[in-house]
Structure formats: structure tokens, C-alpha cells
Amino acid sequence: MTVAQASVSGPILFGRYAFGPNRLGYCGTEDHDAVLGYTAAGEAGVIRGLARTFDGAYPYLELIAAANAIDDPLDRRVVEAYWLGSPLLARVTPSRLHRSIQDRFRPRLSPATWRRMEAGLAVGAAPVHAFHVLEVFPRVGLLRGGPADDVLAVMDACRIRWGTVRIVDSGTLVVDVVPLVERAGRLELGPARSEVVERWVDGLGFVGDVVPGDVISLHWGWACDRLEERQLANLVDWTARELRVVNQVGKR
């Protein structure tokens, strides 16, 4: 079962991207079946309540909404800006983002690590999910269950990736995905490679109508959404921007 993209509200779009890490127990409510089921069914009111349990993502939504005079942090424009990037991010001033990150994360960091994070904030970081993955996660370590052994692999799984569907199977897709790689201490995007990603759990998912050639978004090995050209362009652009920031600051 899936809900047509054109009818997807902000809360449902949030659920589509939040379910990937939620099902693995990394963030949000422990009722993973609820996130999947109510998102697939388009039950925006329920997802609106569950979204507040995602204490990594929700403050960014509040920040983006406030900076753009949007009353609802789960307005579709805000949700899309956080996960994929959009011009709304440019209205979040460096000082606003600095205060938010300082309040949330400075108590967990050593003075030296905080200075490195501040350096990223000073050279153009934005409250997009790619910033959280590339700058906040490796310094703070925000996976439930302890630190990750392979930080690069975790960052690649955690960021919102994009890829072209090649094969549609019953519960999976074969997708040519653009990966994150490290070369000479710099984080870059490598050549596309084929991966098998999940799209159904017990008959529920969000991309039931995809066909070979479609471009989709991925989060923790889960197919989130079919991307329009505009959305893909934003995701590629804002990922590249945050990579420039992290590489300008230097090694993690």
C-alpha cells in the first residue's frame, strides 16, 4: 500500500524519511510498526504526534520553520528543506544555527571538538540533514546503542542518498546509488554502484509504483520516495555544499 506523491503532506513526508533509522532503533518512537503503518496509510495526525519523538530531527524543523515565519514545523516545505535541502535553509542565519547547535550539543563535546564544530558553522553550514550527518554525528555520536565502528559507512547509510532504479523486485529494488567515499582525508561522492534496498515490510512501503529509470531517495537502506527533478537537484546541491564545509574545516 502506498499514498500518491502528489497527496503527501508534511507529516507523511517526514514519516517516509524517518522510518529508515526508526525501524533500526536509532531514533524516534519504539513503535516502529506505527511509523510505517500510519505513514503508508497517510494518517498525518498520528505521524504529527510521533514526529516529536525524533529529537535529532525535530529541532531542525522548528528552526527552519521559525526562520521562515512558518507556524508548522511539519509544513511540507519545512520537512523537504530539512531532508533534501531548499532555499528555505538560506533564511536560517548563522547566529540562529549556532545558538541551536550550541544549546543541543556543546555540553557533550570537549572544548577542542566544539571549536571544530564552530568552524563548520562559521563557513556556511546549514540546518539540512546532510549537515547533521557529516558534522554533528561524527563528533557527537548519536546512534542509540553506542559509538559506531565504521563511521564512514554509518554516515553514508545515515545521509539521504539518491539512486536510479534498475530492477524492481517484490520486496526490494536494485538501485545504482551514489556513495560517500574518503580520498586523502576528504569526503567525496564516488561513482554510482548497484545496491539492493528494501521497499516493503509486510506489504507496506512508500514507493510501490516505481519503475526502472526512476530516481529515488534512500535512508538507512530503505526506499523513501520517488524524487522529482527539482528535489533531486536540491539534494545533490545541498549535499555538495555540506561536503565543501566539512572538507574546508578539515579531518573529523
pLDDT digits (tens, 9 = 90+) for 81-92: 999 999 999 999
Q: Which residues of the chain have pLDDT under 70?
A: 1-7, 141-149, 251-252
Phi, psi of 214 (to 5 degrees): -70, 150
pLDDT for residue 137: 83
Residue 139 belongs to what H/E stretch? helix 137-140
pLDDT for residue 55: 92
pLDDT for residue 80: 98
Please, which residues have CB within 8 angstroms of residue 200's CB and are 6 or more apart in sequence?
Answer: 170, 171, 172, 208
pLDDT for residue 142: 53
pLDDT for residue 185: 86
pLDDT for residue 70: 98
**What does the alpha-carbon distance between residue 160 and residue 48 come to, in Å, rounded to a whole number?**
21
pLDDT for residue 168: 96
The CA-CA-CA angle for residues 83, 81, 179, to 5°, reads: 35
**What does the alpha-carbon distance between residue 20 and residue 198 come to, in Å, rounded to a whole number?**
10
pLDDT for residue 141: 66
**What does the alpha-carbon distance between residue 100 and residue 185 come to, in Å, rounded to a whole number?**
28
pLDDT for residue 148: 47
